[in-house]
Amino acid sequence: KQEVTQIPAALSVPEGENLVLNCSFTDSAIYNLQWFRQDPGKGLTSLLLIQSSQREQTSGRLNASLDKSSGRSTLYIAASQPGDSATYLCAVPSSGTYKYIFGTGTRLKVLA
């Protein structure tokens, strides 16, 4: 059974810091991993998708890496800004199904 854990649960940093969010999963038989952000009271916005054949993906100040063998992904945010404040969620498919399992998220607050 696929389980997804995100650490830390919450993080508060001053503006300008580089930071790393962690996601771990128990079943490495995944075909992709997705990172999302969720603003309060809103739906999710896709940030990055890493296919199983890839090691990392980059979009602007965001970089996500994937290590399937160790069951880990990291989301690196460079030069954080107050607008980055949100909850960040990772999700992986449960093996052999179309069901995506989400972590409980990291709530990020970037202080001006």
Residues forming contacts to another protein in the complex (CB under 8 A) are 31-32, 34, 36, 42-46, 49, 51-53, 89, 91, 93, 97-105
| C-alpha to C-alpha distance for 71 and 10, rounded to whole angstroms | 21
Residue 42: CB atoms within 10 A of its CB come to: 10
Q: Considering the complex, state which of residue 2 and residue 80 has its C-beta at the smaller distance from another protein.
A: 2
Q: Considering the complex, state which of residue 71 and residue 103 has its C-beta at the smaller distance from another protein.
A: 103
Q: Considering the complex, state which of residue 51 and residue 70 has its C-beta at the smaller distance from another protein.
A: 51
| C-alpha to C-alpha distance for 93 and 104, rounded to whole angstroms | 15
| C-alpha to C-alpha distance for 65 and 59, rounded to whole angstroms | 12
List 77's β-bridge partners, or say none. Answer: 19, 62
Smallest gap, in angstroms, from Cβ of residue 15 to another protein?
A: 27
Smallest gap, in angstroms, from Cβ of residue 94 to another protein?
A: 8
Smallest gap, in angstroms, from Cβ of residue 95 to another protein?
A: 13
Smallest gap, in angstroms, from Cβ of residue 73 to another protein?
A: 15
Q: Considering the complex, state which of residue 98 and residue 112 has its C-beta at the smaller distance from another protein.
A: 98
Sign of CA dihedral 12, 59, 53, 34: positive
